Amino acid sequence: MPQPTEPVPPRLHAVTADTLVTVDFSPRFRRRADPRRTPHSRSRPPGPYRRLFTLPGTRAFTAGNLLARLPMGMFSVSAVVMIAGARGSYALAGAVTATGLAATGLVGPWIARLVDRYGQARVAVPATVTAVLGSLALLLCVHYGAPDWTLFAAYTATATTPNLGGMSRARWAHLLRGDPAALHTANSFEQAADELCFMLGPVLASFLTGTFFPEAGTLAGAVLLLTGALLFAAQRATEPPPRPGSATARTPLRIGTLLVCFVATGAVFGSMEVVTIAYADAQGHRSAAGAVLALQAAGSCAAGLLYGSLRPTGPAERRLPVCLLSMAALMSLPLLAARAFDSLWALAPALLAAGMATAPTMVTAMTLVQDRAPADRLNEGMSLVVTALLTGIACGSALGGWAADHVPPTAAFVTPAAAAVAALAVNAVSRVSRIASLNSRRTH
């Protein structure tokens, strides 16, 4: 007896000019043909950060740049641990690192000007090699007990380290010219990368120096810097063209008020670090100060990534006052938390929230620098920004240290809040003077 069979799904045959097309209406085929499941509808448009790295060469130069920037947060900590451990003097270690910081502020803009004139690869590679040799010389002088003056000389040589973060931003500005939304995302990514490097660098340095030997942090930092810089410089396709005829002298003038604003912003960072350590020490938790400060960097990193995923509204010149106002408001939270609760664990979330205003402010200010600085002096302009930040950090550290010694630990948090207000005031004054200058030109 024949077995019952399932009904055969109908098939439609259509004849075209050159072939026979058969369409199967079986359930299996219908599931595949469901318009809701087509590849076009399944694929979502890439996010703003993913779109950045679809450009050829961007992944390679970013990987090298991040590798080279990680030691920026390692060298100071490694040098202090190495020198203090070998010579038994934190004063000497601090003086050596401060000398290197001052030398970087002086040499950095000069290196950046050479980068603008002769190209990134031609200048960055020999400058990096010189800085790495300075780090290795410092390591050898400490290890073999050389005189103290040799430590200052060796660490001063590290001032030739090129501003790799600025060179990366210059590449994005070159690749994304004419696309301000994408450049905003790229600047946000670079700021988040800065925060991540300065957050992970000290942790890595402390781990290496504590686990292996005191010189391990400096040695690893030198290897990472050289490897990353060589990889970055090798990506010639994304390198901005050199500007041999760079003769303009307007960079400091066009971003002069911005530099003052960056000095005040750097004072926020420097003072916050010192007063937080002093407050943690007064609470009996000095060892936890680093973890609490890392929360501020984490908040800034997260806010920077979120800020970059949003489309900017209006020009950077109009967004900057809003960012500075937000920073001034959020920097008051640590002061309020310390005075209200007098607890390090209450201060931690306040620092996390305060850090969230930092990255948007820096991203917007950097975008404004890219807008105002002449194209043939872009690296120099961004290097001057770094110099202004370092100057502010040094001044803020001194002010924070004075406040920690002369006022109660909770009241010392007035210092970073006041520095944030000062940055807002500087921008407001410069904005008013700029508007007045424009109106005067229109009148005449």
- Residues 274, 341: Cα–Cα separation, whole Å: 20
At the second CATH level, the architecture of 58-243 is: Up-down Bundle (1.20)
CA angle 390/356/257 to nearest 5° reads 40
Specify the DSSP element, H or E, that contains 16. Answer: none
- Residues 299, 351: Cα–Cα separation, whole Å: 8
- Residues 442, 387: Cα–Cα separation, whole Å: 35
Label residue 11 exposed, middle or buried (CB < 10 Å: 0-12, 13-18, 19+): exposed
What are the structure tokens assigned to 391, written together? Answer: 């100057």
CB 277 within 8 A of CB 269: no
Contacts of 117 (CB under 8 A, 6+ apart): 242, 243, 244, 246
Best CA proximity match to 188, nearest among 358, 416, 58: 358
CATH of 248-444 among 3.30.70.1350, 3.30.565.10, 1.20.1250.20, 1.10.10.10? 1.20.1250.20
CA angle 340/342/347 to nearest 5° reads 90
Other C-beta atoms within 10 Å of 44: how many?
6
Domains 58-243 and 248-444 alike in fold: yes
What does the pLDDT profile of the chain (444 residues) look like in tens digits? 445 554 544 444 444 434 444 444 344 434 444 444 444 445 566 788 999 999 999 999 999 999 999 998 888 888 888 988 898 888 888 888 888 888 888 899 899 989 999 999 999 999 999 999 999 999 999 999 999 999 999 999 999 999 999 999 999 999 998 898 899 999 999 999 988 888 888 878 878 888 899 899 999 999 999 999 999 999 999 999 987 765 455 555 567 788 899 999 999 998 898 888 888 888 888 777 778 888 888 899 999 999 998 888 788 889 999 999 999 999 999 999 999 999 988 999 999 999 998 999 999 998 888 888 887 788 888 888 888 888 888 888 888 888 888 889 899 999 999 999 999 999 998 888 777 766 766 676
CB 366 within 8 A of CB 382: yes
What are the domain boundaries of the chain?
A: 58-243, 248-444
CB 279 within 8 A of CB 409: yes
